[in-house]
Amino acid sequence: MPSGIFVDEAGTLYVADAPNHQIQIWYNEASSGVTVAGTGISGSSLSQLFMPMGVVVDSNGYMYIMDSGNRRILRWPPNSDSGECIVACTGFTVNTVDTFNLALAIAFDSYGSIFISDTGSNRVQKFQILDSFGPTSTTTSTSTTTAIVLTTTTTTTAITTITTITTVTTTTAITTITTITTTTAITTIPTTTSSSLQIPSVARWSETGSMNHARDEHTATLLMDGRILVSGGSTMNDVNLNSAELYDPVTETWTFTGNMSQARHGHTASLLQDGKVLVTGGNNGSEYLDSAELYDPATGTWKNAADMNDERNFHAACMLPDGRVLVSGGYNGDVVLRTTEIYNPSTGLWTMVGNMSDARDGHTMTMLDNGKVLATGGFGDHTYYNTAELYDPTAKTWRTTSNMHFARQFHTDTVLSNGKILVTGGDRSTDAEVYNSTRGYWKASGKMKYARSNHQASLLPDGRVLITGGYGERTENTTELYDPSTEIWSVGPHMASARSFHRATILKDGKVLVTGGSTGSKSLETAELYFP
């Protein structure tokens, strides 16, 4: 018997199942729910619930549960077996501003205030979650807020300070609003020993203008003027595209620009130092390509560049510090390649350089702080690789480095603010690990909640990494956030559409633009913006 529900932006349903003393989550099209809070047995411990009547969820996946039978509010982290009490933790039933008497509903506003329908006391209470407290003081206020703070020490007791509560009293015919003002001392909690409750984040997804063509396995490149160039791709009905279009972040609209000479998917796109975009390889539906093209944003036109020495699909490309572009591996229609070559924009020519130790496609390449290039994972010789190797542009040679803990293909790699490399997912994995280029070793760094391959990873301005979509047990609309300072993963807000083989691009204002992709049954033309 559901007593309260919450639906997030992705349509995921959270159910407060009061008689069974639990919270369940129901995903889109699911035939059954999953218990995410409570044991199914009533109790008052922090791992138990007693007749929960309501639940709301913030954009980081934290549940705020109206644990009515225990007369308290619990804040329940994602993937946790227990919560923490944040309001009315005594369990007493008295008519004071820090207790509840038959609370039946809970809601948030956009500022993170919690509203409680305290039916037994004929009132609605509002609680404001604050970041910190100032110096000790005594105040009389008419503000309708209650401040809540947690402390991490045993020597300091956090004080829930009540300023003003707006009480709604209902009679048969008349509803009156009474304001109660109280004078309360605010107790200082040293910033070095306290941690505040996390205000529900304003991070969110918003649908933006749709592309003119549905596409997956395309490229998306941030141009120097802030626009996004999307090129090529394919659709679920095997239509390969030579079209390209531009996204304007100011107007949130898409316009066609010049077509490439070749339709292609599984290709690469690299922004050159002169502002042009180099596109290489791919497949046009009938053949694997060695061709390359250059896009000029000033004219909106493409021109053919010199062909690569090898045909390549699902290869990798990386810009070197001197502006040249290194291309490695890929599939040529017959074999997976270990060859690598470099494009020189000054001469317009390709030059073969040393071979990798392993043939790879679906791998990644990343520029390290020391000027070397790290290649990881991929598929070749009928196996998925956990191997990694380094290219030295000065010596023009490859050498192996320590192996990853897990084999991966169609994974992601991200250069963190500290220079380390975060690698996530691939081959429908939840595993993540970090490469230390100074010491040349890998360290496991937690697990994502959802298995993913063909997902995307984006470095946010605050140093966290946003993971979007991909395919695991299903095509995902879920997102997750990795915090390098704590090495902790948290659930982010869901996208409107499930998608893999999409692209995610950091805009100049720090937002993330996600474009296209596949749901598993159709290709998408839709695009979404993430507001950190």
E strands of 58-182, at which residues? 63-67, 72-76, 84-87, 103-108, 113-118, 123-129, 137-140, 146-148, 150-151, 161-162, 164-170, 175-181
Is the domain of 286 the same as that of 375?
yes
- Find the domain containing 481 and state its range: 204-531
In-domain check, residue 463: yes
pLDDT for 97 equals 67
| Cα–Cα separations (whole angstroms), residue 234 to 182, 219, 332, 361, 520 | 65, 11, 18, 18, 13
Is the domain of 119 the same as that of 209?
no
Is the domain of 271 the same as that of 402?
yes
Q: Which of 8-26 are b and which e, b meaning 16 or more Cβ less than 10 Å from the residue's Cβ?
A: bebebbbbbbbebbbbbbb
pLDDT for 202 equals 58
Q: How far is CA 359 from the centre of its chain?
A: 31
pLDDT for 239 equals 93
In-domain check, residue 139: no
pTM greater than 0.75: no
Give the H/E segment covering residue 220: strand 219-222
In-domain check, residue 187: no
In CATH, what number is assigned to the domain containing residue 441? 2.120.10.80
Is the domain of 121 the same as that of 38?
yes
In-domain check, residue 509: yes
In-domain check, residue 353: yes
Is the domain of 309 the same as that of 446?
yes
Residues of the chain with pLDDT under 70: 91-95, 97, 110-111, 129-202
Those residues whose C-beta lies under 8 Å from the C-beta of residue 333, and which sit 6 or more positions away, are 287, 288, 311, 313
Is the domain of 119 the same as that of 260?
no
**Domains: count for the chain:** 2
pLDDT for 158 equals 32
pLDDT for 186 equals 29
Is the domain of 127 the same as that of 217?
no
Measure CA of the first residue to CA of the last residue in the chain; give whole Å.
36
Is the domain of 76 the same as that of 210?
no
Q: How far is CA 40 from the centre of its chain?
A: 31
Q: CB-based burial of residue 81 (10 Å sphere; 0-12 exposed, 13-18 middle, 19+ buried)?
A: exposed
> Which of 445, 429, 439, 365 shows the shortest CA–CA distance to 402?
439
In CATH, what number is assigned to the domain containing residue 111? 2.120.10.30
In-domain check, residue 296: yes
Q: How many CB atoms lie within 10 A of CB 383?
A: 11
Is the domain of 478 the same as that of 364?
yes
In-domain check, residue 179: no
In-domain check, residue 88: yes
Tens digits of residue pLDDT in 234-277: 998 889 999 999 999 999 999 999 999 999 999 999 999 999 99
Angle at 450 between CA 444 and CA 452, to 5 degrees: 80
- Total number of residues shown for the chain: 532
